[in-house]
């Protein structure tokens, strides 16, 4: 017989009112703002309840059926459900849902398949790649001999023949195919052919596009890769966590790289929330949602172009776009700061071959997963583009920022944020 649950924030309020107040304020910010950070989203109430459950009390070093502590009969079932659901959605032989986030998942891949000093090849960070794909300030660039491929200077698209030529010349042991700021499809089949030709492992990092991949809204890497890594938030709409999927031949080495090499006990409350999110992702509604993400991104990119903004590559195939704001006489950080004051939240971002420094780059990265989760569609994207144009055309005008922020809240009130109490 269950006991009466106490509202989580009421309990926090009694113990730590300062933290409770800050949580309430952040909840209000998320409810009242247009969130366009491409890596952010809203989870469902069910996912949030799992992350705040009693599962946080349990220690579970090891894997289902082979734990180092007793009392695992329910934990094992929860983790196995998450594993089975991940394997089914991503169409891979094996899944591990224990990595604490995407970067630790990627670190496990390096630990399992390479030795320090081995050569790796990944996409240049400023051209749309990720820190863990061999960037020099990251562990992947410090511990491994990293070379970076780029997009074409002509059209800012991936040049697969140039990538092939680099791979033949450099002979990497591992190639990363994945994006954090590239607005077009990744051709995993072409990457697979390149990796096969040079005898390299191919790793697909689909952290940003995982939801699009499993719903058929982006090309599927599973037939061509050795490993798929991903976060479990972003388009997947789960908790902040990570996982990888792989061919059976790599399963033992990769599992050992997570535990006991890099981590101790998994976060069981996160595992349960991942399982819930994966069940939600198997629903027909979720597939419709992912399709709408792309429709919204295309509509927003087109509307921004009509407002006179330069969109890198001229558009998008996925959930994000890069907007070059230098034609408006602005830097990315100045633009992002002004938009944030107006309730439109995005991040400054480098564009390919950016002449400006990383701390204040030329662009904005804008994504549509969170606004799509609220139920917004193409017409709302036109409104958002108009607000972005108005704020940036009047960058120092606090009156414009205040007015747009009020209008943003009025629109948000019409589209309640999932998982957030009204």
Q: Which residues contact 169 (CB under 8 A, 6 or more apart)?
A: none
Catalytic residue list contains 205: yes
Choose the catalytic residue: 205, 280, 317, 324: 205
Choose the catalytic residue: 58, 87, 240, 256: 240
Choose the catalytic residue: 40, 59, 145, 382: 59
> 3-state SS string over the chain?
CCCCCCCHHHHHHHHCHHHHHHHHHHHHHHHHCEECCCCCCCCCHHHHHHHCCHHHHCCCCEECCEECCCCCHHHHHHHHHHHHHHHHHHCCCEEECCCCCHHHHHHHHHHHHCCCCCEEEEECHHHCCCHHHCCCCCHHHHHCEEEEECECCCCCCECHHHHHHHHHHHCCCEEEEECCCCCCCCCHHHHHHHHHHHCCEEEEECCCCHHHHHCCCCCCCCCCCCEEEEECCHHHCCCCCEEEEECHHHHHHHHHHHHHHHCCCCCHHHHHHHHHHHHHHCCHHHHHHHHHHHHHHHHHHHHHHHCCCEEHHHCCCCCEEEEECHHHCCCHHHHHHHHHHCCEECEEECCCCCCCCCCCCCEEEEECHHHHHCCCCHHHHHHHHHHHHHHHHCCCCHHHHHHHHHHHHHHHHHCCCCCCCC
Catalytic residue list contains 365: no
Catalytic residue list contains 201: no
Catalytic residue list contains 406: no
Catalytic residue list contains 59: yes
Count, residues in the chain = 422
Choose the catalytic residue: 61, 310, 397, 407: 61
Choose the catalytic residue: 231, 270, 271, 313: 231
Catalytic residue list contains 234: yes
Choose the catalytic residue: 35, 164, 184, 234: 234
Indicate which residues carry an active-site annotation: 59, 61, 205, 231, 234, 240
């Amino acid at each position: 017989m269950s006991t009466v649950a106490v509202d989580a924030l009421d309990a926090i309020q009694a113990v730590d009112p300062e933290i409770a107040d800050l949580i309430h304020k952040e909840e209000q910010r998320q409810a009242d703002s247009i969130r366009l950070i491409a890596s952010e989203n809203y989870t469902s109430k069910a996912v949030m309840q799992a992350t705040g459950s009693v599962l946080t009390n349990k220690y579970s070093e090891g894997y289902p059926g082979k734990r180092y502590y007793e009392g695992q009969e329910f934990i094992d079932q929860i983790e196995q459900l998450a594993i089975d659901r991940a394997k089914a959605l991503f169409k891979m032989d094996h899944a591990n849902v224990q990595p604490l986030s995407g970067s630790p998942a990627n670190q496990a891949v390096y630990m399992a398949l390479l030795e320090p000093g081995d050569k790796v090849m990944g996409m240049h960070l400023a051209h749309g790649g990720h820190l863990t794909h061999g960037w020099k300030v990251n562990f992947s660039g410090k511990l491994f001999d990293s070379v970076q491929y780029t997009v074409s200077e002509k059209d800012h698209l991936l040049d697969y023949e140039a990538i092939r030529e680099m791979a033949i010349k450099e002979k990497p042991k591992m190639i990363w195919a994945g994006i954090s700021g590239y607005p077009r499809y990744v051709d995993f089949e072409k990457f697979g052919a390149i990796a096969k030709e040079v005898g390299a492992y191919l790793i697909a990092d689909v952290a940003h596009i995982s939801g699009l991949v499993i719903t058929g809204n982006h090309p599927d890497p599973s037939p061509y890769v050795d490993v798929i890594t991903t976060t479990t938030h972003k388009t997947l709409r789960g908790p902040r966590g990570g996982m990888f999927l792989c061919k059976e031949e790599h399963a033992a080495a990769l599992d050992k790289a997570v535990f006991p090499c890099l981590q101790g006990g998994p976060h069981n409350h996160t595992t349960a929330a991942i399982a819930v999110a994966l069940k939600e992702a198997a629903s027909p509604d979720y597939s419709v949602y992912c399709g709408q993400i792309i429709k919204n991104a295309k509509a927003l990119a087109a509307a921004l172009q009509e407002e006179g903004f330069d969109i890198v590559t001229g558009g998008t195939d996925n959930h994000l776009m890069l907007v070059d704001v230098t034609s408006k006489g602005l830097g990315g950080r100045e633009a992002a700061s002004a938009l944030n004051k107006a309730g439109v939240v995005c991040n400054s971002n480098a564009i390919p071959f950016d002449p400006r420094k990383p701390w204040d780059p030329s662009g904005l990265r804008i994504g549509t997963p969170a606004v799509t989760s609220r139920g917004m569609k193409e017409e709302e994207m036109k409104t958002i583009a108009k607000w972005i144009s108005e704020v940036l055309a009047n960058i120092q005008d606090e009156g414009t920022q205040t007015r747009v922020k009020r209008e943003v809240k009025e629109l948000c009130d019409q589209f309640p944020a999932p998982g957030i109490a009204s």
